[in-house]
Amino acid sequence: MIGIVGAGAFGTALAVALGQAEREVTLWARDAAHVDRMARTRRNADRLPGVALPETVTVTAEIKDLSGCAAVLLSVPMQTLAGFLADHRGALDGLPLVACCKGIDLGTGRGATAIIAETCPNAIPAILTGPSFAADIARGLPTALTLACADTAVGARLQPLLSTPALRLYRSEDVRGAEMGGALKNVIAIASGVVIGAGLGDSARAALMTRGFAEMVRFAQANGAETETLSGLSGLGDLVLTCTSELSRNFRFGRALGRGEGFDPAITVEGAATARAVAKRTETLDFEMPITTMVAALIDGQCSIEQAAQALLARPLKEE
């Protein structure tokens, strides 16, 4: 049995995809009324409209129902992961715990697997990340993701368990690289949205994506990641998707920022907290993160779009 924590769009999509592949899935949500509604209607109409839950998916509000699972996928926002694990470590510690969130914790500066390891020391941390939208996964459209786990044997066991005919997982042992790629691409997606929202054009977006990828690689390497991982699905692949699609929440947030418009605060934008977390660390780095720093400044209202663009364009000319 596979457990999934979080009945948002992505958690529900994973439950649908795995359930359609005839896996037994237990989907946990904290709101008992929401659980009851999903159990009765076999729908998650608010988060993933038009998609039915397979009969192999059981919905529950009882965390103890996950204790016997072969693996538990943690589809909760990055900034709430530590608190959730602290509250429920008794039921989850000792299990393979697969983070499905992308970001860096603003309070500690840590990635998801480090938080899992600290909070649930007997668990086996892993991360599932890469270019994907919940609607595509739920509809059975071809999707490829990275499954990173430092424990080779556990990763090899999880790969076929979590793969389906349409959901193809590539295995990696570079957990740090997979985490960094998934986290940092959200920051660059916000910047890409700002570029388009401010009317700076597709050529500017392409340049920003390229230089943003260079920032991602520098930061990931400084945090112990392998360069090759950033060139894969969890880095470059996810960067391309989120910087060019209006389905990306981070891109839409950036576009609203570029247009000077408001954005629904109920929508999770992981890149905003990640930009702030990385910006905090720039003072201790021996290299610069100009795009990430500017994104953090824009989000916090410390500079205007015009000032940010001028600052980036005024940087010294150098070799690529």
- Residues labelled as active-site residues: 185
Quick one: tokens of 65? Answer: 């129902």
217: burial class by Cβ within 10 Å (0-12, 13-18, 19+)? buried
Exposure class string for 257-270: b at 16+ Cβ within 10 A, else e: bbbeeebeeeebbb
| Identity of the residue numbered 59 | V
At residue 78, φ and ψ (nearest 5 deg) are -55, -40
CB atoms within 10 A of CB 113: 23
Is beta strand 143-148 parallel, antiparallel or unpaired with respect to 167-172? Answer: parallel
Residue 234 DSSP code = I
Is beta strand 124-129 parallel, antiparallel or unpaired with respect to 96-99? Answer: parallel
- In angstroms, the Cα distances linking 192 to 25, 177, 181, 250, 252 are 37, 22, 16, 9, 9
Quick one: tokens of 84? Answer: 């959730």
